[in-house]
Structure 1
Amino acid sequence: MARKEKPHIPQEGSELTPEWFTEVLGEADAQVTAVERTVIGVGIGFLGELYRCALTWEGHTEQPHSVIVKIPAKSEINRGVGEGLGAYEREIVAYRDMSGDLGVTMPKHYYSAMDPDPAPWMMKPVIFLLEKLPLRGVNWLTQQFLKLSSKSPRRYLLVMEDINDARPPQQVEGGSLDDAYQALDVLAGFHATNWMHHVRVQSYDRIWPINQTPKVWQASYLRNRDEFMDRFGELIGPEMVARLEQAQEDLPVIIEPLGTEPWTVLHGDFRLDNLMYRPDGEVVVLDYQLLGYGRPGWDVAYFITTALSPDHREHEEHLLRHYHDALRRAGVTSYGWEQLLADNEATKLLLAHRFVGSLDSIETEMAGQPESFIELLVQRVVGWVR
C-alpha cells in the first residue's frame, strides 16, 4: 500500500486555503469551503506571524469555525532569533505534548507540523564554544549562528484555538493591579504544578536552564553598550550606569543561582500580552516559545516589571507576598520568602542589563517608533531596579 503523503506545511498566509484546512481538519462528511484570513500579529516583538482564520464549513462538524495559525516570522532578525533559540519547535512541543499537564489554561491544540531538525547535534558544540570562547569570540559566533539560523528552510506551523471570549490587556499601556494579582495566582499554580519536575525537563532537551551561557548576555552588552550609553546614559543617570557596568562584570555570579534548586519550569515570557482574561475569572496563558527552568523569581520579576510601570513600586512587596502565599497554598514550601526577594532583585538587574544588550534588535523591531517610545521602555525597565 502506498504511503499517504503528509500535508504541506504552509509558511505564507496565502497557503492557508480551504483545501488545506479540509485536509488537516476536515471530516468524512464536512469540508471547508471558504477561509477569511486576518493578520493579528506580525512585526514588533513577534518571532512568528499570527493569522485568525474564519472557516466556512459545508456539512455537519464539531470542528472550530475560527482558529489561530502561527508560522515563523519573515523578518530575518526575528526568524534568526526564533530558530536559534529553538522557539518554534519548543512551542509546538508544548502545545502538542504538554497541553493539559502544565497547570494553566492553554488554547486548544488542533494541528501542528514541522520539518525534522536537520542538525540535532549542532546545539551541543555551539553551547560548548559559547562557554569557552572569550567575549569577542562569543559575540562573533552568536551573530554568525543567528545569521545561519535566519536562513533555515525548516518549516513550522501551529493551529490552535481562537480565544475570542476573553479580554487582552495591553502591555504598552500598562496593566491594572487587579490584573496583576490575578496573573500572579495563575503563575503560582503553574510553578507549583511543575515544581522540580525532573521528568518534564528530561523529556525534552530544549527546556534549558535560565543560567545557561551567560557569556552571550555579556557579549551582547559589550556590542551595544556604547550606543546605549550615548543615547540613554543621561536619562538613566550615573548611578544606574555604574550598576549596569558592575552587573556586566558580575553577571555569571548574579545569574548562576537562578538556575539552581529549588527550581521550576519557567514560562519565560509571562507578560500581559500573553494573557487573556475571561469574564468568569479564568486566565488563558499564551506563547510557550521560551519555556525553560530556574528559580520562580525570574518569571515573577519579569511579569511585574513588564506589566506595571515603576509608579507601582510601592505595591511591589505586596505583589510578591501575594505570589508567595499562593505558591505555599499550592503546596510548595521549599522556596522561602527571603529567597524570592533576592531572586526578584537579581532578575530586575539582569533584565535591565539584557535591555542594553538587546538594543540592536529592539531598534530593528521598533523601526518607525519615535525615540520617546524607546525612552519610555528604558525608563520602565531601569525604574524597577533598586
Structure 2
Amino acid sequence: MIPTSADGLTAEYLTGLLRRHGHLATVAGVTAEPIGSGQMAGSYRLVLDSDGDAPRTIVAKLAVGDESQRAFASGAFRNEVRFYAEIAGTLDVPVPRAYGWDISESGAEFVLLLEDLAPAEQGDQIAGCTPGQAEAVAVAAAGLHAPRWCDETWFDVDGFGPVTHDDRLLLESVLEPMADALRGRLALSDEEEAAVGWLVAEAGDWIERPPSRFALTHGDLRVDNVMFAPDGRVTIVDWQTITPGHPLRDIAFLVSTSLSVDDRRRHECSIVAAYHRALSERGVVDYSLDECWTDYLGSLMQAPLIVVFGAGAAQPTERGDRMFHTMLHRSSAAIADHTP
C-alpha cells in the first residue's frame, strides 16, 4: 500500500522504497514534521534513525486527502514522478535530488523522497520576492528551457501532445463557470475584473495558437515553488504542472505574480534580459532580445489562467484565497500596463 498520510511513512515502508532505488539503508525509526504550503499534495520533513547511505533528514511528498481529491490530481502526481524519474537528468535546472519514488497505477497515490534543502527556505507568494531573487529564478529557468529548446520529442511523451481544438473547446466550456466561481470568492477590483474578462474572451485563441518556440515549461513558476538558500542559490520544486509550451509563459508568470507592482514595473525589462542572456549562454540561437520581450508580453495571460484554474482546483483556504487574490492583483496590473 502506498501511504496517503504521514502515518504510513513507516520505517519498514521507507526501508523498502530506498532499497528499491539502490540505497543500502535500513530505517529503524522515523519522525515526520509537516512543511510547505502545497495546494494538492502534502510534504513532510522526515528525521530518520537509519544505517547505510540514507540521509539523516529527507523530505517526503505524497498524495493526501480523500480519494476523489487524489483522483482529480492524479495527472499532476504522475507528472511530478515522471519529472524526477525520467526528465530531470536531461536538463540543467536546479532541483532537489530524488532518493526514490512510488506511484500507483491510477496515479492517485504517490510518494517522492527528496533531498532536504534546509537551511534554504520556501518563498512566500503573498509577501513576494525581491527583483534579485526573481532574476535568479528566471536565470535558473533558462536551465529548464534551453537544453531541449524546440525539441519535438517532447510531444512524443504520453500526455504531452500539442494543444488540439478539442482541448480549446474543453477549456472554453469550463473557463467561464470557474471565473464566476472566483468572482464569488474574491471581491475583485475593476482592473482585476478586466483581466478575468479578458482571459475568458481570449484564452481559447491563446492556447490553441501554436507557439513560435517551445520547451518543457514548469507551468507554475512562482516563488512559493522555489527554495532560496542563504547564499542566494535557488532550487525549483513542485513539478506537477509540466507541459511543453512557450517558455516565456514561465517567465511572465513568475515576474507578474511574484514581484510587487512597483518592482515589476522597474525591473521586468532587466529580468527578461538576464533570462535571454542565460538562454544564449546555454546555446539558444536565432532568438533576439526583442523577440524574447515580445513573447514575454504575449505570455501574460498565463497568470490569470493559472489563478482561475488553481483557485478552482484547490481546496478553499484563507491563505489560498489571499494568495490567489494577490497574484491576480499583481498580474492584472501587468496586463493593464501592456495590453492596449
TM-score in same-fold range (> 0.5): yes
Matches of 1:52 and 1:373, distance apart in 2: 24
Aligned to 1:55: 48
The equivalent position to 1:378 in structure 2, one of 323, 328, 331, is: 328
Contact 2:24/2:53 (<8 A) preserved: no
Matches of 1:91 and 1:373, distance apart in 2: 23
Secondary structure of 2:82's match?
helix
Aligned CA distance change for structure 1 residues 37 and 222 (closer, same or farther; 3 Å): same
Contact 2:128/2:260 (<8 A) preserved: yes
Contact 2:24/2:54 (<8 A) preserved: no
Secondary structure of 1:46's match?
coil
The equivalent position to 1:35 in structure 2, one of 23, 30, 36, is: 30
Q: CA-to-partner distance for each residue in 1:208-245, whole Å, 9 max, x for gaps?
A: 547772334333332144455577676124xx645643
Aligned to 2:103: 114
Secondary structure of 2:17's match?
helix
Matches of 2:88 and 2:302, distance apart in 1: 30
Contact 1:167/1:276 (<8 A) preserved: yes
Matches of 2:310 and 2:235, distance apart in 1: 28
Contact 2:221/2:250 (<8 A) preserved: yes
Matches of 1:370 and 1:171, distance apart in 2: 10
Contact 1:33/1:56 (<8 A) preserved: yes
Matched, 1:180 2:169: no
Contact 2:58/2:113 (<8 A) preserved: yes
Contact 1:255/1:346 (<8 A) preserved: no
Aligned to 2:158: 205
Aligned CA distance change for structure 1 residues 40 and 344 (closer, same or farther; 3 Å): same
Secondary structure of 2:90's match?
coil
Aligned CA distance change for structure 1 residues 265 and 369 (closer, same or farther; 3 Å): closer
Pairwise CA distance, 1:332: 0.9
Aligned to 2:89: 100
Matched, 1:335 2:316: no
TM-score, scaled relative to structure 1:
0.75
Pairwise CA distance, 1:260: 2.5
What code does the residue aligned with 2:130 have? S
Aligned CA distance change for structure 1 residues 254 and 308 (closer, same or farther; 3 Å): same
Matches of 1:74 and 1:99, distance apart in 2: 27
- The alignment's C-alpha RMSD in Å is 3.0
Aligned CA distance change for structure 1 residues 337 and 199 (closer, same or farther; 3 Å): same
Matches of 1:225 and 1:185, distance apart in 2: 32
Contact 1:261/1:295 (<8 A) preserved: yes
Matches of 2:185 and 2:80, distance apart in 1: 36
Contact 1:49/1:73 (<8 A) preserved: yes
Instruction: Report the identity percentage.
Output: 25
TM-score, scaled relative to structure 2:
0.84
Secondary structure of 1:112's match?
strand
Matches of 2:126 and 2:151, distance apart in 1: 33
Q: CA-to-partner distance for each residue in 1:316-362, whole Å, 9 max, x for gaps?
A: 12211221122122221233334333332232234225534555446
What code does the residue aligned with 1:328 have? S
Aligned CA distance change for structure 1 residues 81 and 172 (closer, same or farther; 3 Å): farther
Q: How many residues align?
A: 332
Aligned to 1:290: 241
Matched, 1:325 2:277: yes
The 5 A counterparts of 1:150-299 are: 154-202=108-156, 204-209=157-162, 213-226=167-180, 228=182, 235-237=189-191, 241=193, 244-257=196-209, 259-299=210-250
Contact 1:56/1:65 (<8 A) preserved: yes
Matches of 1:180 and 1:115, distance apart in 2: 36
Contact 1:47/1:81 (<8 A) preserved: no
Matches of 2:179 and 2:47, distance apart in 1: 46
Pairwise CA distance, 1:68: 1.2
Could you list the runs of 5+ residues in structure 2 that have no partner in the other structure? none
What code does the residue aligned with 1:40 have? I
The equivalent position to 1:12 in structure 2, one of 5, 15, 22, is: 5
Q: CA-to-partner distance for each residue in 1:86-117, whole Å, 9 max, x for gaps?
A: 11111111111223222112211211112224
Matches of 2:196 and 2:316, distance apart in 1: 23
Aligned CA distance change for structure 1 residues 242 and 182 (closer, same or farther; 3 Å): closer
Matched, 1:67 2:28: no
Matches of 1:365 and 1:338, distance apart in 2: 40
The equivalent position to 1:308 in structure 2, one of 259, 266, 272, is: 259
Matches of 2:143 and 2:80, distance apart in 1: 20
Contact 1:207/1:292 (<8 A) preserved: yes
Aligned CA distance change for structure 1 residues 233 and 349 (closer, same or farther; 3 Å): farther
Could you list the runs of 5+ residues in structure 1 that have no partner in the other structure? 1-7, 118-151
Secondary structure of 2:95's match?
coil
Aligned CA distance change for structure 1 residues 243 and 181 (closer, same or farther; 3 Å): closer
Pairwise CA distance, 1:178: 1.2
Q: Which has the larger radius of gyration?
A: 1
